[in-house]
């Protein structure tokens, strides 16, 4: 095929994609709102129509089929009743915000007041002048559309019906904890949170629970100079749900962002993180521990841009895959020319337990500065027989030895959590999962 013919085919495909998107969005009503929120949503809808919903053919969606995430109908998913353990973070002193099937539940939530922060609900923010949020809602997401288009994040900006807006001015005494519960087998939750940390502020954000049969969550975070945001997320244990999340974080000088996600089970689950280190001396860590048994498709897609000198970033992703579970890692470090003395690290590893499990990894480095330190690695393998024998020779039964080694494998990711209390909470959950899913 000639170059011209190829270009012609590409253009035709793109037109078909836009037409399909247009058709799918045709009857769609944006959530009722007014003011700045209405304008941001309309703007997002236009942007989405101009870029089209993702297709499996798109390079960025090569390993994960977006159909179930972007389709007009929700694939029903049974609610998974957890009876063998308490909800994650239950023992942690926190300010709790509860969403049920994607709708804020004021009765189940704490009073939205905590010294050092201002919290509002997105659903009724449109007619209020919340200037800081107006400036950020959809704005960081828009920045995140280049160099790679993320139409699912745009779709979220257009359709999000609820969420929280949090402005942090001090150092609140306890974490803000968003709890996602679900009751419906068909609910389609679209949530959008915006967080702004003023200079020097510090907060821990927790998220946990299965959200909905299908969900999309965008989180936009603006972390000003010297501010710190800790983020620990546990995505529930529902097997049939599907979801996509986007984490957009823009970091100022000497600011810190540390995000950890634990994912267990789920039919299709994609977590994207898009981070910019825009000020000197910033630090961004994203880590994840994912565990799947059987029909599990999990995708971590990360893009970290070093746009200032002296910054550090780490990506640490560990996956435990049983019985045909599939996991994807697409991780990129982009170091701009100005970002001298960058220290970048990226590791993605999968433990394949059972013959048909699959790990698809696409680690990427793109570096334009000359004085940088960047390392990356990606491995997949089984448990080490020598380690297993060593443990058994000391008296540990095989299953117990395997469990210990699986947890050891996950440890590097969990160690990225700064708070020992939260790390321990996650370790207990991981151990529970490992015990329930023996190799």
Partner 1 sequence: MLEIKNLHVKLEEEDKAILKGVDLTVEAGKVHAIMGPNGSGKSTLAYVLAGREGYEVTDGSAKLEGAELLDMEPEERAAAGMFLAFQYPVEIPGVGNMTFLRTAVNAQRKARGEDEMSSGDFLKAIRAKAKDLKIDAEMLKRPVNVGFSGGEKKRNEILQMAMLEPRMCILDETDSGLDVDAMKLVADGVNALRSTGRGFLVITHYQRLLDHIKPDVVHIMSEGRIIKSGGPELALEVEQNGYADILAEVQA
| Region for residue 75 given its phi and psi (left: phi exceeds 0; alpha: psi -120 to 50; beta: otherwise) | beta
Residue in the block written with tokens 């962002």: 257
**Residue with smaller CB distance to partner 1, 124 or 384:** 384
**Residue with smaller CB distance to partner 1, 215 or 409:** 409
Beta pairing class for 214-223 and 188-197: parallel
CA–CA separation, 138 and 117 (whole Å) = 21
**Residue with smaller CB distance to partner 1, 61 or 433:** 433
Cβ of residue 404: shortest distance to partner 1, in angstroms?
6
Alpha helices in 247-397 (DSSP H): 385-393
DSSP 8-state assignment for residue 59: G
User: CB–CB of 278/308 below 8 Å?
Assistant: yes
User: CB–CB of 108/127 below 8 Å?
Assistant: no
**Residue with smaller CB distance to partner 1, 27 or 385:** 385
CA–CA separation, 108 and 100 (whole Å) = 9
Residue in the block written with tokens 């968003």: 178
Cβ of residue 344: shortest distance to partner 1, in angstroms?
22
CA distances from 148 to 51, 113, 154, 225, 274 (A): 11, 38, 12, 26, 10
Cβ atoms < 10 Å from Cβ of 225: 18
CA–CA separation, 325 and 298 (whole Å) = 8
Binding site for partner 1 (CB under 8 A): 385-387, 389-398, 400-401, 404-405, 407-412
Cβ of residue 382: shortest distance to partner 1, in angstroms?
14
**Residue with smaller CB distance to partner 1, 27 or 395:** 395
* H or E segment to which residue 439 belongs: none
Cβ of residue 285: shortest distance to partner 1, in angstroms?
18
Residue 84 three-state SS = coil
Cβ of residue 8: shortest distance to partner 1, in angstroms?
54
**Residue with smaller CB distance to partner 1, 391 or 418:** 391
Cβ of residue 392: shortest distance to partner 1, in angstroms?
4
Cβ of residue 318: shortest distance to partner 1, in angstroms?
10
Cβ of residue 316: shortest distance to partner 1, in angstroms?
12
Q: What is the dihedral of CA 140, 141, 146, 148, to 10 degrees?
A: 150
CA–CA separation, 222 and 220 (whole Å) = 7
* H or E segment to which residue 289 belongs: strand 283-293
């Amino acid at each position: 095929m000639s170059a011209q013919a190829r270009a012609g085919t590409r253009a035709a495909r793109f037109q078909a994609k836009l037409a399909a998107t247009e058709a799918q969005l045709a009857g769609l009503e944006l959530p009722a709102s007014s003011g700045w929120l209405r304008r941001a949503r309309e703007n997002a809808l236009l942007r989405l129509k101009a870029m089209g919903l993702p297709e499996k053919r798109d390079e960025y969606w090569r390993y994960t089929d977006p159909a179930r995430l972007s389709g007009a109908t929700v694939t029903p998913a049974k609610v998974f009743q957890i009876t063998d353990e308490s909800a994650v973070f239950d023992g942690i002193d926190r300010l709790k915000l509860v969403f049920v099937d994607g709708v804020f539940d004021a009765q189940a939530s704490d009073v939205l007041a905590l010294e050092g922060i201002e919290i509002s609900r997105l659903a009724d923010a449109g007619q209020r002048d919340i200037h800081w949020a107006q400036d950020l809602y959809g704005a960081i997401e828009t920045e995140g559309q280049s160099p790679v288009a993320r139409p699912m994040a745009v779709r979220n900006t257009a359709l999000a019906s609820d969420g929280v807006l949090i402005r942090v001015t001090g150092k609140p005494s306890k974490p803000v904890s968003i709890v996602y519960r679900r009751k419906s087998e068909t609910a389609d939750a679209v949530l959008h949170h915006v967080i702004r940390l003023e200079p020097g502020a510090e907060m821990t954000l927790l998220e946990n629970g299965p959200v909905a049969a299908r969900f999309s969550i965008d989180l936009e975070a603006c972390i000003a100079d010297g501010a710190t945001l800790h983020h620990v997320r546990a995505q529930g244990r529902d097997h049939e749900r599907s979801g996509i999340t986007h984490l957009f974080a823009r970091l100022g000088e000497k600011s810190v962002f540390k995000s950890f996600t634990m994912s267990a089970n789920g039919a299709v689950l994609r977590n994207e993180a898009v981070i910019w280190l825009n000020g000197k001396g910033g630090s961004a860590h994203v880590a994840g521990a994912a565990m799947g048994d059987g029909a599990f498709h999990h995708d971590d897609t990360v893009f970290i841009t070093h746009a200032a000198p002296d910054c550090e970033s780490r990506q640490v992703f560990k996956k435990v895959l049983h019985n045909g579970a599939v996991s994807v890692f697409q991780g990129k470090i982009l170091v701009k020319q100005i970002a001298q003395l960058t220290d970048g690290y990226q590791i993605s590893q999968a433990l394949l337990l059972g013959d048909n499990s699959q790990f698809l990894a696409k680690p990427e480095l793109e570096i334009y500065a000359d004085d940088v330190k960047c390392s990356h690695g990606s491995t997949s393998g089984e448990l080490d027989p020598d380690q297993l024998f060593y443990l058994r020779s000391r008296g540990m039964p095989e299953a117990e030895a395997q469990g210990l080694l699986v947890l050891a494998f996950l440890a590097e990711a969990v160690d990225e959590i700064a708070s020992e209390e939260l790390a321990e909470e996650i370790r207990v959950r991981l151990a529970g999962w490992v015990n329930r899913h023996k190799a």
